[in-house]
Amino acid sequence: MCITGKRAYYSRAEAKKKAKDMSRRTGERVIPYRCDVCPDWHIGKPPPGLIRGEVSRSEIHQHRYDRARALGYEQ
Ligand SMILES: [Zn+2]
User: How many whole angstroms from 35 Cα to the centroid of ligand 1?
Assistant: 4
Residue 48 counted as domain residue:
yes
User: How many whole angstroms from 3 Cα to the centroid of ligand 1?
Assistant: 6
- Number of structural domains the chain divides into: 1
Residue 75 counted as domain residue:
no
User: How many whole angstroms from 16 Cα to the centroid of ligand 1?
Assistant: 15
Is 14 exposed, middle or buried (CB count within 10 Å of its CB: 0-12, 13-18, 19+)?
middle
User: What is the structure's pLDDT at 47?
Assistant: 67
User: How many whole angstroms from 54 Cα to the centroid of ligand 1?
Assistant: 24
User: How many whole angstroms from 68 Cα to the centroid of ligand 1?
Assistant: 10
Residue 39 counted as domain residue:
yes
User: What is the structure's pLDDT at 18?
Assistant: 96
Q: Provide the residue range defining the domain that includes 28.
A: 12-70
Averaged in consecutive runs of 10 residues, what is the pLDDT profile of the chain (75 residues)?
87 95 94 87 79 70 75 64
Residue 3 counted as domain residue:
no
Separation of alpha carbons 34 and 10, rounded Å: 10
Residue 4 counted as domain residue:
no
